[in-house]
Amino acid sequence: MSNDSRFTRRHFMRFCATTAVLAAGADPGAFAESDARLRRYERVKLVDERDRPITAATLKVGENYLFYYPYVATPCFLLNLGKATTAASLQTEDGQVYQWNGGVGPHRSVVAFSAICAHKMSHPAREVSFINYRHQPATFVDAHDNTAQRGQVIYCCSEKSVYDPVNGARVLGGPAKQPLTAIVLEQDKDGALHAIGTVGGEMYDKFFERFSSRLSLEFRTNDIRKLVTGAATVKPLVAYCRNQILC
Ligand code: FES
């Protein structure tokens, strides 16, 4: 499929969504580019390095997995938290309220989030990652300036933003002003996991603007905005990134 046809399809889906809103008499601005509700991208199957489907059962509890979605250069964490998640009503920095419906799999314990920090967009690169999932207890300063300790957090050591993946990647502490963008997952009848879109405050335009040169070199393409189609390969973060900075 050409890039043009991919964009045509995406825009067509947005057009359909907008048309549905207009038909319902809702605010047409509600489906603007910055809308925090479900944005559907390509439905992409998650596979391992041998193209075998990823299911909840194939994900080790506590392992920090990485894949790229919805674009070829935008990293996401995939996590089996090993505990139940709870749906959450969340808010973006510009005040848009959205609903995160929890994970998938047993106890809804499998979740995915953009690995681009909502503060200054620190993200995993081949040489180093300052943002990581911490299954074991980590110490941080919470939103009330108290020292807190807990596991199952996503911790960005750049300026110490901490997110709660059990609760939609809500901000627990640090300078980030909104949750990480959530990747919406679906399970098919065989248990295979698929990514279908995002909810929450996307930062992709800013991300591409700021990091385009480095991303082009790292991904050996000028088309860093190419959408992922078909399948996305999931690997442990350690298999992708040489150094992980933990704080
Ligand atoms: S970039 Fe993550 S805390 Fe600043």
Whose Cα sits closest to atom 4 in ligand 1?
159
Cα 91 to ligand 1 centre (Å): 18
Give me the mean pLDDT over the 124-133 stretch: 96
pLDDT (mean) for 20-49: 64
Across the range 29-58, mean pLDDT stands at: 83
Of the chain, the percentage scoring pLDDT greater than 70 comes to 86
In this structure, the answer to whether residues 106 and 1 fall within a common structural domain is no
Q: Report pLDDT digits (tens) over 69-95.
A: 999 999 999 999 999 998 999 999 999
Same domain, 60 and 162: yes
- For residues 132 and 115, the answer to whether their CB atoms sit within 8 Å is no
For the entire predicted model, the pTM comes to 0.86
Judgement on whether residues 3 and 102 belong to the same structural domain of the protein: no
Pocket test for ligand 1, best of 133, 158, 171, 247 (most atoms within 8 A of CB): 158
Residues 121 and 143 in one domain: yes
* 19 plus 69 within the same structural domain: no
Please report, rounded to a whole number, the percentage of residues in the chain having pLDDT higher than 90.
Answer: 83
Judge if 66 and 18 occupy the same domain. no
Count the domains in the chain. 2
Do 22 and 58 share a domain, yes or no? no
Q: Do residues 7 and 42 both lie within one domain?
A: no
Residue 137: CA count within 13 A, CB half-sphere: 5
Same domain, 17 and 124: no
Domain assignment of residue 18, given as a range: 1-32
Could you identify the atom of ligand 1 that is nearest to the CA of residue 120? Answer: 1
Q: Are strands 88-91 and 128-129 parallel, antiparallel or unpaired?
A: unpaired
| Gap between the Cα atoms of 237 and 189, Å rounded | 28
How far, in Å, is the centroid of ligand 1 from the Cα of 157? 7
Residues 135 and 230 in one domain: yes
Spatial CA neighbour of 47 closest among 27, 16, 69, 74: 69
Task: Give the tens place of pLDDT for each residue, 97-124.
Answer: 999 999 999 899 999 999 999 999 999 9
Assign residue 188 the CATH number of its domain.
Answer: 2.102.10.10
* Residue 109 and residue 53 share a domain: yes
Residue 217 has pLDDT above 80, yes or no: yes
Give the pLDDT of residue 34: 52
107 and 228 in a common domain: yes
Across the chain, mean pLDDT equals 88
Residue 37: the pLDDT is 87
For residue 176, give the ligand 1 atom closest to its CA. Answer: 3
